A and B are shown apart, each in its own frame.
Chain A
Amino acid sequence: MQLKPKQTPSIRQALTVAACTLLSAPAVRAQGTWELDSSLLFYSEQDRVRAIEPVVRLKKQISEDEHFALQFVADSLTGASPSGAVPTTTPQTFTSPSGNSTYNTPANEIPLDPSFHDTRGAISFDWGRPLSRESRVVYQGHVSKEFDYLSTGVGATLSWDFNQRNTTLAAGASIGYDQVNPVGGAPVGLAPMPTFPTVKATSGDSDTKQLADLLLGVTQIISRTTLMQLNYTYGKESGYLTDPYKLVSVVDAGGNPVETLYEKRPDTRARNALYWRTLSAFGKDRLDFSYRYYWDDWGLRAHTADLRYRFEFGGGHYLEPQLRYSLQSQAADFYRPFLRQGESPQYASADYRLSEMTTSTIGLKYGVATRRDGEFAVRVGYMLQTGEDHPANAPGQLANQDLFPDTKALLFQVNYSLKF
């Protein structure tokens, strides 16, 4: 039989460590914690786009206030998207973006581009570290690739705590560089779509876009149960901002399309947003409300409100109804659902996203805490977009067409997170 060497009780040393941990307030989190967040989103529009988007975010907590996170996204889209052309009483034939085929739109139906499918892969990082006791910086960057689009960007956000950490000021900046390689080349803006098999006139195989964002923000603790955040963001985009696949119909006095043009947008855009958010606890429950006012030099204006209320049921279960309402109260100056014969505007786009419209979303999230500080959650949502079905100035047959068919989409999302 082997005798164990007699161990000297090291209770005193263990106590010193425990006391040191206790008294070095605030309590130090165990170092080297990994966090995994994952989500899978299913997005499905009635008769149109469907998408599956898995996201995985892996975060390493290097110390109490330093972390590094990597995020991977895959995004797979199929289905058809409105091309911007108007419906008419007779079937229409369009040339696909590649120029290699045609597609038909039945009479009295909004033209959809059926060749809409895409796969995207993206990787991004964020790295946050303290600069001093009261300040820290988060660096971020991303690369995203689709078969016809490459997006890259880097940025940094600095923040300072004041007023015994009751107030935090933030300032951030980012730059981005995107490259678009449209199928069949970038069409010349406002040039007519040729009849198959003639090939469209292009301005080149690819084009680029530069982006810069600035942020100024303040987060204020209002009380033991409420905090507020206010951000102002300014974004500048320049370069090729046109959507190479979107079209604009030219109609005659009877409202019948005589020609289809490729859309054209200005080559700069200055965006502004004021974003206000408040989180407030009511007992164990929590209210999350945000409002954003958006305006840009294209003339677009939007009010967006988002309300979420989390009911805690104990044992880590919660239910969170969500409501979102967005009103684009003013369309872009060059938004034209159709052009009239003889008009020659400098820019024109019939992209419904630049029009006056509303987007309403109702959703519900259920979450439950799992072991190891993890969480499992499901979210369901229904989104409805409505706009001007019958613009007052629509001539002839167009007056009888629904120029803004509602977009209805179902969203289903599963989340799973854990710490290890």
Chain B
Amino acid sequence: MTELRVERVADYWVARFQAMASPCEVLVDTDDPTVARRVGAIAYSEALRVERKFSRYRADGVVAQINAANGATVEVDEETAALLNYADACYRMSDGRFDVTSGILRRVWRFDGSARVPESQAVQALMPLIGWGRVSWQNPRLTLLPGMEIDLGGIGKEYAVDRAVGLIRAESPASVLVNFGGDLVSSGARRDGRAWQIGIENPAQLANANASRGGFELTRGAAATSGDTRRYLLKDGQRYPHILDARTGWPVEGAPKSITVLAPTCIEAGTLATLAMLQGVQAESFLDTQGVKYWCLR
């Protein structure tokens, strides 16, 4: 069991904990450590709740229950239904590139920096079990083909951040910045009217000129990042990034190393970043047409 710690940093308090396999923190614009603890606890319990409910590794969770159904119809609750509706919308918007049934590809793709690119037959063998189009989703009833699985990991963390901020707003007027492993939301301007300052990793490598280098300010809104500079495969000089096209089962060619997008909510930011990654070499032009602020690392 990890724990929740609060400490004072400059003119605010920060609550830190570990959840969803990531370091998480909540910056609370207050001088009162009690407020920081209370706000931190809200974020912590919501992160644990979402993780417990939607992690595919938790046998008592909804996702595990769906994946264990082996072809049987599962009736889901309202919250799960809302997430599945969202996943359904993403699938259609991306023409099938973004697909919550593609998680089983992790059985053959392990992005550990090695050269172990799977055989194409191994990937092909999994393809009949991938495809949201093969799923029957009639709210609240979900029926997968036997052997199929869903994985809400691609949207779960961003969803948890949005949920946590919503809960904190209802409880406390203090300005907060919730950051779950790099996916973050600011609830509003700080006491002195300033914005929260966000730094960016490896600013020197930023490829697009559309954004300011070094960092950005977040008053009320969200930022999320897709891609991980540490997770890739490298074989024969070719770099395979950790972003798989659900239609082929293979990494997207020409995708940036990472993309950070600003949007009103974290889940929008995260989805836009992922959809851009899936556009490969066209990631930047895709984001330009969407008219969002972003940072692309190539």
Q: Identify the A interface with B (CB < 8 A).
A: 8-9, 11-12, 14-16, 18-19, 21-23, 25-27, 314-316, 369, 371-373
Contact = CB atoms under 8 A, between A and B. Distances in A.
Contacts of B82: 21-22, 25-27
B201 interface: no
A9 B288 CA distance: 11
Interface in B226-285: 263-265, 267-268, 271-272, 275
11 contacts: A9-B289, A11-B290, A12-B263, A14-B89, A15-B272, A19-B162, A19-B265, A314-B72, A316-B73, A371-B138, A372-B138
Contact of A18 (B86, B141, B263): B86
A8 B292 CA distance: 14
Contacts, number: 73
Contacts of A371: 138
Interface of B: 72-73, 78-79, 81-83, 85-86, 89-90, 93, 138, 141, 159, 162-163, 166, 263-265, 267-268, 271-272, 275, 286, 289-292
A15 B268 contact: yes
B83 A373 contact: no
A27 B271 contact: no
Contacts of B291: 12
A311 to B, nearest CB: 15
Given A15-B268, A315-B73, A22 B275 contact: no
Nearest to A372: B138
A23 B265 contact: yes
Contact of B159 (A12, A16, A22, A315): A22
Contacts of A12: 263, 268, 272, 290-292
Contacts of A27: 78-79, 81-82, 85
Nearest to A23: B162
A15 B138 contact: no
Contact of A14 (B83, B93, B264, B267): B93
A19 B267 contact: yes
Contacts of B72: 314-315
Given A15-B90, A23-B162, 13 more contacts: A12-B290, A14-B93, A19-B162, A22-B82, A22-B83, A22-B85, A23-B267, A27-B81, A27-B82, A315-B72, A315-B73, A316-B73, A373-B138
Nearest to A369: B141
> Considering the complex of A and B, which 3 residue pairs feature the smallest CB-CB distances, nearest first?
A27-B82, A18-B89, A12-B290
